Amino acid sequence: MFHFKHAALVLGAFALTACAIGNVGPDDAKGKLEGAGYSVSVVSAEEYEKTPTAEALPGNAALNNYLSASKKEEHNYLFAWYFSTMNGAETWNELYSIELSSIKSEDEEAKFTMGRSNNVVWVGTNAAAKTAGFTLF
At 12-67, the pLDDT tens digits run 333 333 344 456 899 999 999 999 999 999 999 999 999 999 999 999 999 999 99
pLDDT given for residue 15 in this prediction: 34
For residues 39 and 82, is the Cβ–Cβ distance under 8 A?
Answer: no
- Burial, 103: exposed, middle or buried (Cβ in 10 Å; 0-12, 13-18, 19+)? middle
User: Is residue 137 situated within a structural domain?
Assistant: no
Kindly state the average pLDDT of the residues 122-127.
93
For residues 125 and 113, is the Cβ–Cβ distance under 8 A?
Answer: yes
As for how many domains the chain has, the answer is 1
- What residue numbers bound the domain in which 17 lies? 4-132
User: Is residue 9 situated within a structural domain?
Assistant: yes
User: Is residue 100 situated within a structural domain?
Assistant: yes
User: Is residue 123 situated within a structural domain?
Assistant: yes
Q: Which comes out higher in pLDDT, residue 133 or 8?
A: 133
At 63-109, the pLDDT tens digits run 999 999 999 888 899 999 999 999 999 999 999 988 888 887 677 77
Q: Is the pLDDT of residue 124 over 70?
A: yes
